[in-house]
Amino acid sequence: MLRIPELVLMQIARSSTLLAWQLIPLPSLSIVIHLSRVPNGGPEYRYQYWPIQHMYYDKEPYLPTHPTNMALSERYWLSSKGISIYVNETSPLFLDQNNYLDNHLCLIAKNKAPYRHRDSIQLNYELGVFLDPKTAHQNMVKTHLGKPTGHPDERMIQHPIWSTWARYKANITDKIVETYADEIIANKFYNSQIEIDDKWETCYGSAVFDPIKFPNVTALVQRLKQKGFRVTLWIHPFINRDCEPAYSTALQNSFFVKDLNRRVQMSWWQELFIRWLQANVFMPSLQYSFVPWDYDKETIAICKKYTDLHANMTPEILNAMQQAITKGTPVNPPIWWIDPTDEEAYKINDEYLLGETILAAPVTQEGFTRRDIYLPIGTWFDPNKGTIINGPTWLRDYDAPLDILPYFIKKKHY
């Protein structure tokens, strides 16, 4: 006998409708979305692509316990035509994208592990239709996502975090940490804080300083504070096998990380180090772990230049954060945020905004010293060249050698 799903419609706002499909008994329900108009949304994934049309899911559960993450993000999708979809957290949701159907996303509700068993399947989702995606997202912030209630302290935004991890790995002692702090000062870099990273404990999970590596932590912290550093610790979710009783507790509750020693080894090189820093300049915070003086004087000079630029952008970053608190707008939105009707802007995956005033176009490909840049509507000032450009327009083969970060400031903000 053919089972027909029951559909319940409920208008919850002028532009939003709650749809609740229910099938009794089982096995599954699904809706299919064409991806040509869906530039944003979905989970955080180990291998992240943007626009999301390039993502691939094979009937994967939308849960943070999934091996490839599925973390952080809400069950929320946003189309370039102002349509939003929000799936209720009670639905046992699986994703299938570019698998069963090319260029389609399937939202599937199934009575299957890792979700608990249930007597009926429900696929509850809210469908909103708005003037444009910016309006749709602002409505989603109001109804589901919420606004931040504050921002980090100004010093952490203005100056870099210095971590011991990448440079020293687990081979840290009180003398190494203090020498590291002295090097930062000697090279004339500022700090928001110094972070004592991996292997400061007697064992993973003990939360007790190793007395051989750190015989007098109190004295070390006092000296670092006298040098102008705040001090933080790396706190982790793993526990060593012989770190009792924490290990036994974690084992019983499946908290521990399996295959603890399978660590990906990678070597950093000067170009990647500098380009990575440049890509982060207009984001809320910088963190160093490898340090510029591990390379050469050119690297030190370039990194100092862009660390200082980030510090000078603190008022803009704080203003964008304040807008996030009061209006729910992103601190670093995609460039279509300025003009949601600009179809070309939806195709750009290597530029971003700080608020609505600064556009960053970092070089993200190895060996490249030129790139094409798209500027959306508005009048833009180019600080690198001192020129004014009217958008929307393409800047082809923009010259960007290693010491140049292409960025643009919108008129009335320079």
Range of the domain at 391: 329-410
297 & 167 share domain: yes
154, 357 Cβ separation under 8 angstroms: no
* pLDDT tens-digit readout, 88-97: 888 999 999 9
Range 256-265 contact pairs with CB under 8 angstroms and sequence separation of 24 or more = none
- Which residues lie closer than 8 Å to 236 by C-beta, 6 or more apart? 198, 204
Is there a single domain that holds both residue 130 and residue 78?
yes
Measured distance CA(40)–CA(194) in Å, rounded: 35
pLDDT at residue 1 in the model:
38
Would the CA dihedral through 44, 49, 54, 56 be positive or negative? negative
In a domain, 71, yes or no: yes
* Residue 278 Ramachandran class (φ > 0 left, ψ -120 to 50 alpha, else beta): alpha
Among 113, 144, 175, the domain-final residue is 144
Residue 261 falls within a domain, yes or no? yes
* 289 lies in the same domain as 185: yes
Residues 122 and 173 in one domain: no
CB-CB contact of 390 with 374 (8 Å): no
Q: Are residues 288 and 385 in the same domain?
A: no
Q: Residue 324 domain-assigned?
A: no
Instruction: Note whether 117 and 256 are same-domain residues.
Output: no
Give the pLDDT score at 241.
Answer: 76
Flag whether 17 is in a domain.
no
The residues, ordered by sequence, that sit 6+ positions from 7 with a Cβ below 8 Å of its Cβ are: 19, 20, 21, 22
Q: Mean pLDDT, the chain, as a whole number?
A: 86
Whether residue 349 sits in one domain with residue 283? no
My answer on whether 140 and 163 are in the same domain is no
Is 311 inside a domain boundary? no
Judgement on whether residues 128 and 255 belong to the same structural domain of the protein: no
Report the CATH number at residue 209. 3.20.20.80
Kindly state whether residues 178 and 138 are assigned to the same domain: no
Same domain as 161, residue 134 = no
Burial 139-155 (b: 16+ CB within 10 A, else e): bbbeeeeeeeeebeeee
pLDDT at 255: 58
In a domain, 66, yes or no: yes
Q: Look at residues 144, 169, 196 and tell me which one is the last residue of a structural domain.
A: 144
* Same domain for 194 and 74: no
At 49 the pLDDT is 80
pLDDT computed for residue 46 by the predictor: 78
Per-run averaged pLDDT (10 residues), the chain, 414 residues: 46 56 58 74 82 85 76 85 90 89 88 86 87 93 92 93 93 96 97 94 84 96 97 80 78 56 53 96 95 94 98 96 95 96 93 98 96 98 98 98 98 64
Tell me which residue has tokens 């749809």: 19
Instruction: Read off the CATH number of the domain in which 343 is found.
Output: 2.60.40.1180
Single residue among 91, 110, 144 that ends a domain in this structure: 144
Asked whether residue 48 is domain-assigned, the answer is yes
Would you say residue 276 lies in a domain? yes
As for how many domains the chain has, the answer is: 3
